[in-house]
């Protein structure tokens, strides 16, 4: 053991012996990083907690560590790994609504937002993105050059959890998951060592990080492919939640998802929302990456449905569309429960799900009259399988983009006291939808992590072989299990 390590080890022992483990770890980090570690009552601490997108994620850690560099992250992770059993969380943009996934109640939260540099390298065909960056600056860096990139469809979504859990973009139907466009991850391991994981170096870790979440280390930089692209056609269309409109939307989406009609240029979703007026609406966010051909595409079968409340359809850049969607985002007073289901299309399944959701939503809103409850469900397509491996588990010869649909069930509510009861309600809604899909032989095991509830078995849905390989990678790069034992949030390999 060298002198520096001996001194660090003694610091840890002294800290643990002189107070609670978490308090002592916070004080130790403060001694090492000074004002990059902040405590309750301070302005920077309050700003960090208040910036989470959803109220349920704003739990209170004992301290927040806000590294400004990869070296800072290395020091933090190494120190926390030596403070055995001290819980910590990793936060990028703070957009997850799952409690504890990016914020450690009574633990230590690593807030990566200061590591937000975006560096374009046209020669290499990549853009390098700090793990604390939001999606909007990524678009802003590449689009003036006539280029684009796979990033979040909402501009204030952080890149960290988005990419390590897969990631869906405006270009996903033709390019795949966002993680499939990563050429390199810079990663801080549990030991504090910094490695670059790519197709040449640490290729097993490279694959594991493409969908494996926070199980292997702290990613501090993503190198993403860039590609030439001009404007897209698209925007939002909002409709009244009327039976005839709903039928038209479901029929149009069913037609789009018929495998014989697959069009890699159609991207978007259909959303149905029920709550107290005026919150009972249907909408679609529809985008077409070849604007010159949109009038001949099935995208128009959705956006031409009448009557409409309004639309924002136009030709514009991906970044401009992301900025538009950000307008309804930001720190919310609402709590949110997500849940994810994957189904195969059939002629009847969407109308059956709609009937079940509608009946359940009416009852649920009536059962929680003071919660200001909004229930929603969203339909969107799956990205295709990449030419190189990721961890998401789709067989190489499969075509999920042609016939699979991600169904997201969402409950938004103001009353935090109702959170546990509404988790139970969410589970019942999922059970009902899965039952319908099971009857039609359409239920699939995959669940997209960024839309899944904390209670769902996301990694199990990747398949046994993918889980086996990820567990091997975890044991190789994190033999002490720091990211399994101490990082409580996220979907864990050894839960």
How far from each other are the two terminal CA atoms of the chain, in whole angstroms?
A: 33
CA dihedral 153, 155, 159, 161 (to 10 degrees): -70
- Tens digits of pLDDT across the chain (495 residues): 455 555 555 555 555 554 589 999 999 999 999 999 999 999 999 999 999 999 999 999 999 999 999 999 999 999 999 998 999 999 999 999 999 999 999 999 999 999 999 999 999 999 999 999 999 999 999 999 999 999 999 999 999 999 999 999 999 999 999 999 999 999 999 999 999 999 999 999 999 999 999 999 999 999 999 999 999 999 999 999 999 999 999 999 999 999 999 999 999 999 999 997 667 999 999 999 999 999 999 999 999 999 999 999 999 999 999 999 998 666 789 999 999 999 999 999 999 999 999 999 999 999 999 999 999 999 999 999 999 999 999 999 999 999 999 999 999 999 999 999 999 999 999 999 999 999 999 999 999 999 999 999 999 999 999 999 999 999 999 999 999 999 999 999 997
Query: Tokens representing 55?
Result: 């109220």
Nearest to 382 by CA among 290, 444, 289: 444
DSSP state of 313: -
Query: For tokens 């590294």, what's the residue?
Result: 67
Where do the domains of the chain lie? 3-114, 118-229, 232-458
**CATH (residue range 118-229):** 3.30.465.10
How many Å apart are CA 378 and CA 320, to the nearest integer?
22
What phi, psi does 120 have (nearest 5°)? -85, 135
How many Å apart are CA 189 and CA 196, to the nearest integer?
10
Architecture of domain 232-458: 3-Layer(aba) Sandwich (3.40)
Cis peptide before 345 (omega within 30 of 0): no
3-114 placed in CATH 3.30.43.10: yes
How many Å apart are CA 104 and CA 119, to the nearest integer?
30
3-state secondary structure of 70: helix
């Amino acid at each position: 053991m060298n002198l520096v390590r001996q001194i660090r080890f003694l610091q840890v022992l002294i800290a643990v012996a002189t107070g609670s483990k978490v308090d002592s770890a916070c004080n130790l980090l403060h001694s090492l990083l000074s004002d990059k570690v902040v405590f309750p009552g301070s302005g920077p601490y309050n700003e960090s907690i208040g910036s989470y997108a959803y109220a349920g994620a704003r739990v209170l850690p004992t301290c927040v560590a806000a590294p400004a560099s990869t070296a800072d992250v290395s020091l933090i992770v190494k120190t926390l790994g030596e403070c055995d059993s001290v819980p910590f969380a990793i936060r990028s943009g703070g957009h997850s609504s799952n409690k504890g996934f990016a914020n450690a109640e009574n633990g230590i939260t690593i807030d990566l937002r200061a590591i937000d540099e975006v560096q374009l390298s046209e020669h290499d065909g990549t853009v390098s993105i700090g793990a604390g960056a939001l999606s909007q600056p990524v678009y802003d860096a590449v689009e003036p050059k006539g280029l684009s990139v796979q990033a979040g469809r909402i501009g204030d979504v952080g890149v960290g959890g988005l990419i390590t859990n897969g990631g869906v973009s405006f270009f996903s139907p033709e390019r795949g998951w966002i993680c499939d466009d990563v050429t390199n991850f810079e990663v801080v391991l549990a030991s504090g060592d910094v490695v670059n994981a790519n197709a040449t170096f640490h290729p097993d870790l490279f694959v594991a990080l493409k969908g494996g979440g926070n199980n292997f280390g702290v990613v501090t930089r993503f190198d993403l492919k860039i590609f030439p692209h001009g404007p897209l056609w698209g925007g939002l269309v909002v409709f009244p939640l009327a039976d005839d409109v709903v039928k038209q939307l479901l029929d149009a989406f069913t037609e789009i998802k018929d495998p014989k009609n697959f069009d890699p240029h159609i991207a978007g979703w259909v959303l149905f929302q029920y709550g107290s007026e005026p919150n009972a609406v249907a909408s679609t966010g529809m985008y077409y990456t070849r604007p010159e051909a949109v009038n001949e595409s099935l995208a128009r079968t959705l956006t031409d449905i009448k009557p409409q409340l309004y639309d924002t359809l136009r030709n514009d850049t991906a970044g401009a569309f992301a900025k538009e969607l950000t307008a309804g985002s930001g720190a919310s007073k609402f709590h949110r429960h997500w849940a994810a289901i994957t189904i195969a299309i059939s002629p009847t399944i969407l109308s059956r799900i709609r009937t079940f959701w509608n009946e359940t939503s009416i009852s649920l809103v009536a059962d929680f009259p003071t919660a200001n409850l909004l229930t929603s469900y969203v339909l969107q397509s799956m990205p295709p399988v990449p030419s190189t491996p990721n961890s998401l588990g789709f067989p190489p010869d499969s075509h999920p983009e042609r016939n699979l649909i991600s169904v997201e069930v969402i409950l938004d509510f103001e009353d935090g006291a109702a959170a546990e009861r509404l988790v139970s309600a969410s589970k019942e809604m999922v059970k009902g939808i899965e039952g319908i899909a099971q009857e039609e032989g359409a239920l699939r095991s995959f669940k997209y992590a960024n839309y899944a509830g904390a209670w769902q078995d996301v990694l199990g849905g990747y398949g046994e072989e993918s889980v086996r390989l990820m567990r091997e990678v975890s044991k190789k790069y994190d033999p002490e299990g720091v990211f399994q034992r101490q990082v409580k949030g996220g979907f864990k390999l050894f839960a």
